[in-house]
Amino acid sequence: MKLTKKVLGLTIALFGMVAFANAQETVPEFEKRGKAHHQKMIDKLGLNDEQVAAFKELKKTYRGKAKALKSQTDSKDELADLMYQNRKAKTAEIKKILTPEQYAIFDKVDTNRRKRGKGKRGKKGKARRAF
């Protein structure tokens, strides 16, 4: 009986330590995917260091604008329109950073990404329209 309690206690302690150790070392999955996608786009477009820095700065700027837009309105339709305009402005800025050849590749990848996402927001989703 004593031996069973000791074995059970040690087993629980061991599983607890393993779970705790794994929880500390893991990076959230969305961060891994985001970094992998970012690196994949850099490689695919063949960006130089200057373009990479400009791209990162642009991403930060428009991420902040998107967060600000979300707090501006409660209407989903109005928010969709504002986000659409924000994305359009971001794409125009990206076009300035990239060469025409790089932008053609970017546009192709972006168009394919948008096509894959259609249908996920239901029948009423305003964000589904192409621009």
* Amino acid 2: pLDDT: 72
Read off the pLDDT of residues 48-70 as tens digits, 9 standing for 90 and up. Answer: 999 989 988 998 998 888 888 88
Kindly state whether residue 86 falls inside one of the protein's structural domains. Answer: yes
Kindly state whether residue 124 falls inside one of the protein's structural domains. Answer: no
In this prediction, residues 65-87 reach a mean pLDDT of 86
* Amino acid 89: pLDDT: 92
In this prediction, residues 19-30 reach a mean pLDDT of 63
* Amino acid 37: pLDDT: 81
Q: Token match 């061991």: residue? A: 14
* Amino acid 93: pLDDT: 92
Read off the pLDDT of residues 86-126 as tens digits, 9 standing for 90 and up. Answer: 889 999 998 999 899 999 988 888 887 777 766 555 555 55
Kindly state whether residue 2 falls inside one of the protein's structural domains. Answer: no
* Amino acid 55: pLDDT: 87
Position 8 confidence tier, pLDDT thresholds 50, 70, 90: confident
Number of structural domains the chain divides into: 1
Kindly state whether residue 36 falls inside one of the protein's structural domains. Answer: no
To the nearest whole number, what is the mean pLDDT of the chain? 79
* Amino acid 131: pLDDT: 46
Kindly state whether residue 13 falls inside one of the protein's structural domains. Answer: no
Contact between 81 and 126 (Cβ < 8 Å): yes
Kindly state whether residue 39 falls inside one of the protein's structural domains. Answer: no
Kindly state whether residue 18 falls inside one of the protein's structural domains. Answer: no
Structural domain containing residue 107: 48-115
Q: What interhelical angle do 29-45 and 49-72 show, nearest 10?
A: 130
Kindly state whether residue 74 falls inside one of the protein's structural domains. Answer: yes
Does pLDDT of 19 surpass 70? no
